[in-house]
Amino acid sequence: MRTYATINILDLSNVDFAQVVETNESTVRKNLNNTEFIIKWNIEPSFITNGTITPLQTLTHVEALALVQTDAWNDNTP
């Protein structure tokens, strides 16, 4: 099962993109005020298991979809 996590934007350079679905820094989803981003994986990355990065929260697919629909992540202005 795929796992999603929100991460502090300051940790973006510590992500090993070979271990997550996203391919580089420009392909992660960021919140509107550019303070957090989302990554996803099938096998927990070593940079999380070894404590290099501590997720702000871990989410299921349904929870991640709900999160990106919030005002903090989505500018719903027509």
pLDDT 10s digit of each residue in the chain, 78 long?
A: 899 999 999 999 999 999 999 999 999 999 999 999 999 999 999 999 999 999 999 999 999 999 999 999 999 777
Report how far Cα 28 is from the mean position of its chain's Cα atoms. Answer: 7
d(CA 14, CA 62): 26
pTM: 0.93
DSSP 28: S
